[in-house]
Chains A and B, each alone.
Chain A
Amino acid sequence: MLYIKCPWCGERDETEYHYGGEAHIARPENPDELTDAEWAEYVFMRTNTKGVHRERWVHSDGCRRWFNVARNTVTNEIVAVYKAGEKLDLPDATAPVKAAAKASAKSPAPSEAKKPARKTAADKKEGA
């Protein structure tokens, strides 16, 4: 059973929380403009990371706040916990998300242009 530090309540057992899947997948603002494949990418496709994974949790039996956790999927070590809308920079070796973002920034393929940005609306508001 994981031991997770809610940014508002502190450390609690995993049983107080619910898992919310991969973090930083923003809902597209204009779904009608996406192709089926692009929409499917948003709805169904996730990274299945081996290593540090950014994911969402909600403190269901506590403050009911959603927040982000960076967890190593191999060891379950929690590298960081941060609030929705906050940014987290990790050392390169443990940040596949960041590495992927860099790669796409270098050469944005035309077909990727409409792909949902891997940022939440909250990121947009507070982070960027």
Chain B
Amino acid sequence: MTEKFRTSQGTRVDRSKVINFTFNGKAYRGAEGDTLASALVANGVHLVGRSFKTHRPRGILTCGSEEPNAIIQLETGPRSEPNLRATQIELYEGLIAKSVNCWPSVNFDVLAVNGLASRLFVAGFYYKTFMDPKSMWMTVYEPMIRRMAGLGVLPREKDPDTYDHMNEFCEVMVIGAGPAGLAAALAAGKSGARVVLCDEQVEFGGSLLNSKEIIDGRPALEWVASAVAELEAMDNVRLLKRANAFGYYDHNYITVHERRTDHFGPGAKPELARHRVWHFRAKQVVLATGSHERPLVFADNDRPGIMLAASGQAYANRYGALPGKRGVVFTNNDSAYKVAIDLVDAGMAIPLVVDLREVADGELPNTARQKGIEVVTGAGIVATEGRKRLKAIEIAQISSDGEKITGAKRRIECDTILMSGGWNPAVHLFSQSIGKLRYDEEKACFLPNISSQKERTVGACKGTFDLQSALEEGMTAGALAAQDSGFGKGKAPAAPKAVVVAEKPLKAIWVVPTDHPVGQGPRKHFVDYQHDVTAADIMLAAREGMHSVEHMKRFTTTGMATDQGKLSNVNGLAILSAQLGKAIPQVGTTTFRPPYTPVTFGALAGRGINGDLADPVRRTPMYSWHLEHGATFEPVGQWQRAWYYPKAGEDMHAAVTRESKALRDGVGILDASTLGKIDIQGKDAAQFLNMIYTNAWLKLPVGSCRYGFMLKEDGMVFDDGVTSRLGENHFHMTTTTGGAAGVLDWLEEYLQTEWPDLEVYCTSVTEEWSTLSIGGPKARALMEELAPEMDFSNEAFPFMTWREGEVAGVPARVFRISFTGDLSYEINVRNWHGLHMWEKCMELGAKYDITPYGTETMHVLRAEKGFVIIGQDTDGTQTPQDLGMDWIIAKSKSDFIGRRSFVREDTKRPDRKQLVGLMTENPKEVLTEGAQLTYERVNPTPAPMVGHVTSAYWSPNLDHSIAMAMVKDGHNRMGQWIYAHDRGKVTKVKIVSPVFYDQKGERRDG
């Protein structure tokens, strides 16, 4: 079959350049300049898919990004992509496409048989049909919906293409390159301002590409060509084609999705990024986003062959592809008469225009009559026939209120309907910018009303449908936008002269009647084609109490498909309003949200598509050693920390058991470099620490260290760490690995906004220092070998002090602090000495069988001692008292951050959840972190939850499982048995002190 519907009149296709493609397994020919949709139309193929819920055959409805029916799976293999619109896919040699929404094939669809799906998917089906049991959702309903709905298939392979992002500034951003947008860009460009003009289509011209307008006495496309040439010659103007502005965010931040290589075919330009997301900050924005033609809602308005009128015109004029052999135009306005005239001129039979208005006496209807086209007014299409292609229609006179049929039905055979229900300005980006809309009764559509950002709308997007006014608005807006951004004097260049034919007002009849009341009988009035929502569904929603448009949307899913309701929102809203007996503005409109059109994940990920650039990865100077010695890694924030070091044949359990015992029996070494470190200096540093920590700092001697809690003003612990006094006015603070940045912001907040009189300077030094923790009974012996000049005796170097000296030949600070309970030294060296120090420790430690251990063993060892980890055992709702650490609060201080909250009624409650240890009855059983706790084994429903397990491990040194937990009134319940619940399993546990190991603290000094 070769392009039976192709004419010689397409302005934008080159028939001499044949392009072969495959659709649903069948080979076709198209021409250069075609979209997949126009090539299918040229081949007479209209059946392109099945509807989402009811699996009715569907045809090509539009010629643009608003297409709801022609949804395509393009190509196969790793570059296969689902849910593309055939109307936007540019044809290339060898293209392979298929419909997404049919099974097993578009011509024979199992689920369409007997309307099986139709009865299942009434409005609100998500809530009604699939109510219970919940488990059925995952196993039965969801797979069934997916199979039924098609939804396309994602490739399993890695995406072979590259994607990138660009960030740019401009003075004037013009979105949409139709007549108004081109005019705006010309006017702004002449001022010398940096201008960006983007458009979603293959070439600039907008609606002029589809019609036969005259500008300055020439075909409009000649004016477009000269305008584009003029813009291309301006160095200050950037032109982006195939580029959808999909998001309009705060402060004129605009995101644009540019498809750069898809039209060459998959993988044809591997040297180029396939898609690019542009991020623009514009001083001024001009929205020239045009408008979408609105479908008419009439009986069985979804058969293949039923198309929007101007789209039919576009296929004929632009692509030389006639929508059918014999078509009827169905309209409520004058614009569709232009379509009838153009199609007749292109060689298609248009015997009839059916007009909902009682009178059609404008210039365009009269011209149509002169062409021999019959015009029937005060009438509507009340029925259609034909399964896979429209075969015939029935028309009838209808009452002037649009409620019922008043005359006899007349049957007309035709294969095409070209419908026009008026125009919806594409206000999506305007709405995203938080601009306020208003409803215009005469044009029966929403128009931009009050701007919220530095933005102007022009042309059809503003409801200015006549070409001359659109051109003038564009020129004016472009000049003013440039002026407001500091360029030019705001004087608009003269607009070119377009031939304008006056049009008479439309008449909105939102649901065209049929021989049964809507919702009864076999005929369906579709509103949302992609989600199969009918007028009856919306009326049902209103009757069931969905009086808000937002409720109606969610109940019926109107406007929630990938087309985001570009065609359905206004019709749906109008039907809801009529059902509620309210005016449309009273019911309101929905808020449009990004993206305007779907954007691929690849484009959003950009160069980070493989994950390695998505987020910075932080590694310590000893990372390479850990890697070479077989460590497994655990991400902690952006850090990659060594988790454990399995030896051959060891699993995690075995490795952690070995590492844990090794430290307690000999010596272990941990890379603790990721700890947050903040250098604090200034004459008021001690006074400052006294306010931000709960304990007393003024008298801490130089050379000593102190462990402290930081609270928020609500009295809850938010970070902890050891801070050491390096000098009279100099401290070294450590924070948790994950809390470092937040702590620094918080310190600065108090210094800069509350106590600007204090002279204190904070500097992040996390990355400046490598930290190695050497712990275990043999730690002292190793330290003595590493630093023969230093005295490591308990007397000379006691617990919670630090000393400076030469260690392994390099300057170091050594801190005697312990997170394991055993004798322990933390060596800090400049980061470029980190790896050297680690290797030296391993070398000299060999005779003590020094054992590197990772974060998992660190967690086990600290839990054996009952040391909390902020963020694991706490969640921002614990006071120091809840954690059993009253000792950390200085009684002598009259103020510190959070102190006043201790005496709040809720904070001083004695029965708050408190930190305790748990021992399982069965010593081998390790609890699940997060398990809920109850006092009783058997509980009423709902069970009184009294806490949860925060940490749980196997303790190799105790040969017993251990756990920490927050338990209501836990401190008063020592020795009591309670119950842990984990997905139906109940475990009896005893409340004990969280200090499981070395309760007298005898190991600390070695």
Contact = CB atoms under 8 A, between A and B. Distances in A.
Nearest to B255: A1
A64 interface: yes
A60 interface: yes
Interface stretch (A24-32, A45-53, A88-96, A97-105): A24-32
Nearest to B247: A1
A84 B753 contact: yes
Given A36-B904, A40-B904, A121 B250 contact: no
Nearest to B763: A64
Interface stretch (B58-66, B364-372, B894-902): B894-902
B741 A60 contact: yes
A26 B749 CA distance: 12
B197 to A, nearest CB: 22
Interface in A37-77: 39-40, 42-44, 56, 58, 60, 64-66, 74-77
A66 B250 contact: no
A65 B756 contact: no
A122 interface: yes
Interface of B: 249-253, 281, 434, 452-453, 713-714, 741, 744-745, 748-749, 752-757, 894-895, 899-901, 903-905
A80 B604 CA distance: 33
Contacts of A27: 713, 754
A43 B752 contact: no
Nearest to A34: B900
Given A120-B754, A122-B753, A125-B756, A36 B748 contact: no
A9 B714 CA distance: 33
21 contacts: A1-B251, A2-B250, A3-B252, A18-B745, A27-B713, A27-B754, A30-B895, A31-B900, A32-B900, A43-B713, A44-B714, A56-B749, A66-B748, A66-B752, A76-B250, A76-B434, A77-B453, A78-B251, A121-B753, A121-B755, A122-B756
Interface string A1-27: 111000000000000001010000011
A122 B749 CA distance: 11
A40 B281 CA distance: 41
Main secondary structure of the interface of A (DSSP, over half): mixed
Contacts of B253: 1, 3
Contacts of B252: 3
Nearest to A126: B756
Interface string A105-128: 000000000000000111001100
A60 B745 contact: yes
B249 A1 contact: yes
Nearest to B712: A43
A121 B905 contact: no
Given A31-B900, A121-B753, A43 B748 contact: no
Q: What band does the interface of chain A fall in when counting residues whose beta carbon is under 8 Å from B?
A: 35 or more
B756 A84 contact: yes
B613 to A, nearest CB: 16
A2 B250 CA distance: 5
Contacts of A43: 713-714, 901
Contacts, number: 80
A120 B751 CA distance: 12
A120 B895 CA distance: 18
B281 A3 contact: yes
Nearest to A33: B900
Given A32-B895, A60-B745, 19 more contacts: A1-B251, A3-B250, A3-B252, A27-B713, A34-B900, A39-B900, A43-B901, A44-B714, A58-B745, A60-B741, A65-B748, A66-B753, A76-B434, A84-B756, A120-B753, A121-B753, A121-B757, A122-B752, A122-B753
A56 B251 contact: no
A20 B750 CA distance: 11
B901 A39 contact: yes
B753 A75 contact: no
A41 to B, nearest CB: 12
A32 B894 CA distance: 8
Contacts of A2: 250-251
Contacts of B281: 3
A11 B250 CA distance: 14
Nearest to A58: B745
B979 to A, nearest CB: 35
B756 A31 contact: no
A58 B900 contact: no
Contacts of B756: 84-85, 121-122, 125-126
Contacts of A66: 748-749, 752-753
Contacts of B754: 26-27, 120-122
Contacts of A44: 714
B434 A58 contact: no
Contacts of A1: 249-251, 253
Closest 5 CB pairs of A and B: A31-B900, A3-B251, A66-B752, A76-B250, A122-B756
Contacts of B453: 75, 77
Contacts of A3: 250-253, 281
B755 A75 contact: no
A84 B756 CA distance: 9
Nearest to A29: B895
A31 to B, nearest CB: 4
Contacts of B434: 74-76
B508 to A, nearest CB: 32
A125 B752 CA distance: 12
Contacts of A34: 900
Nearest to A122: B756
Contacts of A85: 756
A39 B253 CA distance: 40
Contacts of A40: 904
Nearest to A125: B756
B277 to A, nearest CB: 13
